[in-house]
């Protein structure tokens, strides 16, 4: 394995541990935080599609079956990150926040003619918020100011296994160990200052399956790929403590055991289709549905409903293959994604829409995928808080060969 790749893996793990929860959105107050988009920049630029996309030169976390398209003896190491500028609007004014984060650190390889394996770590959810409100003074018409702060999130460490049934059909499965801590603080200011910090630790396993089927029509020069996934409903066990501190005197804080409600990750099902015409024009479409309406146990009191996500993407591949001119190897992408959301605030659904463009830059043993997106959250409803954001996604995939025999003349 190349020494530079080993160094990058080590540094990426360190940075990942220190930057797992940086969504910086008031909506991350609810539940276990906002669900992060941890896909490769290629998937994101194609409207967050990928259920029916093959992945011979990158790691496609949308569908575990796609790992079987990695070439024999090939190894892929993926590092992905996100830079986001978010403008939050409410009746109290506007606030702009900029943050960045690693979103994926993964390794995948083909180990036999039929089997492929992969492993990775991703920040599944993020909690990062701070806002001020008031609470009434009992027996009077007065109020006290209260500040709400939150940080942390849930990370998953996952393993993927893919099996190639024949040249057209493959299946795959994945198992994830979900873990993380979410810290919620309430700072009440009266004649003195009282800080209540609730630290909740979540743990639990989740599982998913996927399949892909592709068929090439020689006469039409058209390749059709179909895909489907299912991520099973799973529990997150919660344990925590509450820490009470007056006037920031942390040496005399009072700690009590917190009875926390376990949370749940919903059942998710999705289908996708991809069409490649003349080996150059690729269209992709995904539809996923998550049964958040079946999630009952949460720390906060929002109402969940069934989530539906639609993704549409187009990719323009190079006219010439393996050209020595970099500009002739560029891959152009555009996508659109609509998310109905999955929770209500003040009985209003919080939906989201995003448009993306992207570029694929193949280099010697490195694939660089870059994407830009502009999105809005809380669009078709009279949401009290709306978000407009710009995002820059970057994925670097290092390609290597392991287990290759060397011959000496």
User: pLDDT for 121-153, tens place per residue?
Assistant: 999 999 998 888 888 877 677 788 889 899 999
DSSP for 189-210, written as a single string: ESSSEEEEEEEEEEEEEEEEEE
Q: Hey, CA dihedral for 82, 179, 128, 91, is it positive or negative? A: positive
pLDDT bucket at 407, cuts 50 / 70 / 90: low
Given this model, what pLDDT does residue 174 score?
Answer: 98
pLDDT of the residue at 287: 98
Average pLDDT rounded to a whole number, residues 85-102 = 84
**What is the rounded distance in angstroms from the CA atom of residue 173 to the CA atom of residue 117?**
10
**Per-residue pLDDT averaged across 118-123, rounded?**
95
Query: Could you tell me if 154 and 176 are in contact, meaning their C-beta atoms sit under 8 angstroms apart?
Result: no
Higher-confidence position of 93 and 273: 273
Rounded Cα–Cα distance for residues 205 and 193 (Å): 39
* pLDDT given at position 250: 79
Which pLDDT belongs to residue 404? 60
Q: Return the bridge partners of 170, or none.
A: 164, 212
The residues near 301 (Cβ < 8 Å, ≥ 6 apart) are none
Whether residue 409 is predicted with pLDDT greater than 80 in this model: the reply is no
Token pair of 61 as six digits: 């976390």
Tell me the percentage of the chain whose pLDDT exceeds 90. 58
Tokens linked to 202: 């979540």
Other CB atoms within a 10 A radius of the CB of residue 380 amount to 11
Q: What is the pLDDT of residue 242?
A: 87
Give CA separation, 403 vs 72, 73, 317, 400, in Å. 10, 6, 31, 10
CA distances from 176 to 123, 124, 205, 250, 393 (A): 12, 11, 6, 36, 24
Query: What does the alpha-carbon distance between residue 338 and residue 358 come to, in Å, rounded to a whole number?
Result: 18
Quick: pLDDT tens for 303-316: 889 999 999 999 99
Adjacent-strand bridge partners of 151: 183
> What was the pLDDT predicted at 131?
84
Q: Exposed, middle or buried, 296 (CB in 10 Å: 0-12/13-18/19+)?
A: exposed
- Give the Å distances, CA to CA, from 187 to 197, 246, 256, 403: 9, 10, 17, 57
**Residue 19's pLDDT band (boundaries 50, 70, 90)?**
very low
Q: What is the C-alpha to C-alpha distance for residues 377 and 312, in angstroms, rounded to an integer?
A: 18
pLDDT of residue 9: 46
Is 95 or 261 the better-scoring residue by pLDDT? 95
Q: Which two tokens stand for residue 403?
A: 């287990």
Distance CA 174, CA 102 (A): 21
Q: Are strands 303-304 and 343-345 parallel, antiparallel or unpaired?
A: antiparallel
Q: How far is 137 from 122, CA to CA, in rounded Å?
A: 43
CA distance 321 to 172: 30
Average pLDDT over residues 57-61: 94
Mean pLDDT of the chain: 87
Give φ, ψ of 105 to 5 degrees: -135, 110
Q: Residue 3 pLDDT more than 70? A: no
Q: Could you tell me the end-to-end alpha-carbon distance of the chain, in angstroms, rounded to an integer?
A: 24
Least Cα distance to 45 among 310, 396, 359 occurs for: 359
Three-state DSSP state, 36: coil
Model confidence over 314-335: pLDDT tens digits?
Answer: 999 998 777 778 888 999 999 9
Mean pLDDT of 223-252: 90
Q: What is the pLDDT of residue 390?
A: 96
- pLDDT at residue 7 is higher than 50: no
Distance from C-alpha of 385 to C-alpha of 138, rounded to nearest angstrom: 28
């Amino acid at each position: 394995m190349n020494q530079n790749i080993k160094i990058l893996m080590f540094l990426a793990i360190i940075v990942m541990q220190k930057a797992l929860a940086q969504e910086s959105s008031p909506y991350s107050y609810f539940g276990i935080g906002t669900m992060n988009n941890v896909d490769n920049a290629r998937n994101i630029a194609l409207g967050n599609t990928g259920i029916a996309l093959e992945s011979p030169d990158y790691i496609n976390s949308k569908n575990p079956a796609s790992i079987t398209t990695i070439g024999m003896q090939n190894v892929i190491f993926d590092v992905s990150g996100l830079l986001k500028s978010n403008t939050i609007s409410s009746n109290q004014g506007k606030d702009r926040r900029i943050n960045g984060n690693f979103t994926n650190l993964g390794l995948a390889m083909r180990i036999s003619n039929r089997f492929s394996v992969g492993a990775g770590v991703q920040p599944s959810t993020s909690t990062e918020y701070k806002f001020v409100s008031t609470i009434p003074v009992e027996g009077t018409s007065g109020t006290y100011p209260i500040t709400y702060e939150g940080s942390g999130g849930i990370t998953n460490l996952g393993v993927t296994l893919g099996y190639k049934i024949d040249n057209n059909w493959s299946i795959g499965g994945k198992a994830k160990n979900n873990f993380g801590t979410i810290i919620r603080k309430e700072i009440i200011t009266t004649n003195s200052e009282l800080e209540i910090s609730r630290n909740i630790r979540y743990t639990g396993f989740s599982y998913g399956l996927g399949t892909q089927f592709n068929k090439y029509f020689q006469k039409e020069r058209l390749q059709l790929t179909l895909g489907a996934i299912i991520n099973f409903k799973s529990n997150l066990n919660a344990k925590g403590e509450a820490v009470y501190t007056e006037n920031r005197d942390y040496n005399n804080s009072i700690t009590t055991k917190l009875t926390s409600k376990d949370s749940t990750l919903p059942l998710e099902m999705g289908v996708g289709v991809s069409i490649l015409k003349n080996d150059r024009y690729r269209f992709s479409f995904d539809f996923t549905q998550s049964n958040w309406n079946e999630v009952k146990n949460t720390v906060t009191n929002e109402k969940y409903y069934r989530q539906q996500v639609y993704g549409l993407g187009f990719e323009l591949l190079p006219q010439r293959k393996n050209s020595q001119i970099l500009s002739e190897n560029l891959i152009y992408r555009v996508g659109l994604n609509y998310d109905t959301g999955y929770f209500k605030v003040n009985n209003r659904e919080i939906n989201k829409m995003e448009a993306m463009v992207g570029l694929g830059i193949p280099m010697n043993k490195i694939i660089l995928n870059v994407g830009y997106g502009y999105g809005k959250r809380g669009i078709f409803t009279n949401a009290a808080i709306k978000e407009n954001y710009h995002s820059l996604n970057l994925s670097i995939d290092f390609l290597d060969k392991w287990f290759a025999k060397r011959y000496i003349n």
